[in-house]
Amino acid sequence: MKLAKVRLADGARRLAAIEDRTLKLLDLSQVENIQCLADILHSPDPAGLARFLIDPRSGSIKCDEVTFLAPIDRQEVWAAGVTYKRSQVARMEESKAGGGASHYDKVYTADRPEIFFKATPHRVSGPGQPVRVRHDSRWSVPEPEFTLVIDPAGRIVGYTIGNDMSARDIEGENPLYLPQAKVYSQCCGLGPAIQIAEGTLNLAETTVGVVIQRGGKSVFEGSTTLAQLHRQLAELATWLYRENEFPFGAFLLTGTGVIPPDDFTLENGDSVSITISGIGTLTNPVVKNSL
Ligand code: DO4
Ligand code: MG
């Protein structure tokens, strides 16, 4: 089952459960203390609770009849880095001149992963909302990332799609510029829905793909699978929660294994579509203001 925040044709915002591509609206008034999507996700049985909350007055709605919103409430958004070989190699290349290449080499094999703060809810773009390229970056890319939804106790309760927008020139100039390369207005895409974590995930069959379009034509396409991820998903969640509290839960982007060639940079007006099997497609237009 997937859970989502949606806007209906009449402008009303609702929570919805999606099964077999059919969407049903939820009525939260049926249970005390359930006020938002995170309350359902953080409950002992999110799928069971969502089924119980299905609004008996709601018929079945088709997914294309609603607008999907970012599936975030008050969670912080964090990200892991250099978790795929492709990312380690690309980072070492971009950091050669700045002298930071060896950091990426070391962190790929170190026990402790790279984990960094990525966004607060107001910096997150939902489906169809713009993601931003900094005006002071000449080399920026989207990073398509399998994303964990983690409850306050550190339990992985769901999965969604994340776009870790990154200014590669700023990061490459000096590793200490990482927060500026990664954290700014509209720096992170999330959505369209959260797949509730049930059973074992088949890593080899979970594909993460990206298509970048310019003027309606594809200018980059790439994909990987979670089998290429060099870390365990639970391991990344455990490191994030070490000596840290998340009273509202957290999203954790798990790193990119797809990086466009070095001569590629995003431009104003591009469109980025990230597809993860079992979750869906997150599409965002790209904005970049001129200086
Ligand atoms: O080390 C910098 C960031 C790495 C990253 O975001 C990734 O590998 O996805
Ligand atoms: Mg990343």
pLDDT digits (tens, 9 = 90+) for 116-133: 999 999 999 999 999 999
Structural domain boundaries of the chain? 2-68, 76-287
Distance of CA 24 from the midpoint of ligand 1 (Å): 37
Query: What ligand 1 atom has the least distance to the C-alpha of 87?
Result: 8
Q: What residues flank ion ligand 2 with Cβ within 5 A?
A: 143, 164, 256
Nearest CA to ligand 1 atom 7: 81
pLDDT for 99 equals 77
CA 273, CA 260: separation in Å to the nearest integer? 14
CA distances from 5 to 42, 70, 254 (A): 16, 7, 22
Residue 74 Cα, ligand 1 centroid: separation in angstroms?
A: 24
- Does 85 have pLDDT greater than 90? no
pTM: 0.97
Ligand nearest to the CA of 170: 1
**Measured between alpha carbons, how far is 276 from 46 in angstroms, rounded to an integer?**
21
| Alpha carbon nearest to ligand 1 atom 3, residue | 81
% the chain with pLDDT above 90:
90
Residue 94 has pLDDT above 90, yes or no: no
Residue nearest to atom 9 of ligand 1 (CA): 255
Mean pLDDT, all residues of the chain: 96
Q: Is 82 in the pocket of ligand 1 (CB under 6 A)?
A: yes
CB atoms under 10 Å from CB of 60, counted, come to 11
In 3D space, the residue among 277, 268, 258 whose CA is nearest the CA of residue 142 turns out to be: 258
61 token code pair: 């709605």
pLDDT at 101 over 80: no
- Is ligand 1 within 6 A of the CB of residue 255? yes
pLDDT in tens, 194-225: 999 999 999 999 999 999 999 999 999 999 99
**72 pLDDT higher than 80:** yes
Q: Which atom in ligand 1 lies closest to the alpha carbon of residue 164?
A: 6
What's the confidence (pLDDT) of residue 162?
98
Q: Looking at ligand 1, which atom is closest to the CA of residue 104?
A: 1
C-beta of 162 in contact with ligand 1 (< 6 A): no
Q: What is the pLDDT of residue 269?
A: 98
Question: What pLDDT score was predicted for residue 100?
Answer: 73
Going by alpha carbons, the residue nearest to atom 6 of ligand 1 is 81
Note whether 142 and 196 are within 8 A (CB): no
Does the domain made of 76-287 have the CATH classification 3.40.50.800?
A: no
With beta carbons less than 8 A apart as the criterion, state whether 272 and 283 touch.
Answer: yes
Establish whether residue 256 lines the binding site of ligand 1, counting it when its CB lies within 6 angstroms of any ligand atom. yes
Confirm if 113 and 232 have CB atoms less than 8 A apart. no
